[in-house]
Amino acid sequence: MTVTDAERQRIIDEMLAEQKEALRQRMSKIGSRSTPRKRRASRKSLKLAVKARVPRTHCKNGHKYTKKNTAYWAGVRYCKTCNRLDARKQWRKKRAKGMRKMREMRIP
């Protein structure tokens, strides 16, 4: 017995609908007896249980994670381009602060 793509998609949609309904029922039970913080945490964990986490392919500024553009520090992945831009921004800020001090030190 072969399953067509349409049938497979229908089965997946039905399963997702059942999971969403079960999630709504659990949330209504949790919402009536928990604090807002607990409710947020449980809602997030239940949503993650329904929807699998997708690995990120881009950093928060939109740079693509490639072998050339990605580095790891203490097991954490970061974007080299963003890191370079942040370092440049900090250097300029530090330099401007030093220049301000030099101007203040001048004797007219």
pLDDT tens for the 108 residues of the chain, in order: 566 778 878 887 888 888 888 878 877 766 555 555 555 556 656 555 555 556 788 898 999 999 999 999 998 899 999 999 999 999 999 998 888 777 777 665
pLDDT score at 108: 59
pLDDT score at 44: 59
pLDDT score at 69: 94
Strand locations in 9-100, DSSP E?
Answer: 70-73, 76-79
Write down the domain spans for the chain.
1-54, 56-108
End-to-end CA distance of the chain: 93
Q: Cβ atoms within 10 A of the Cβ of 68, count?
A: 9
pLDDT score at 66: 93
pLDDT score at 64: 93
The two structure tokens encoding residue 96: 């401007």
pTM of the predicted protein model: 0.45
Classify the C-alpha dihedral 66-71-75-77 as positive or negative. Answer: negative
pLDDT score at 43: 60
The residue count of the chain comes to 108
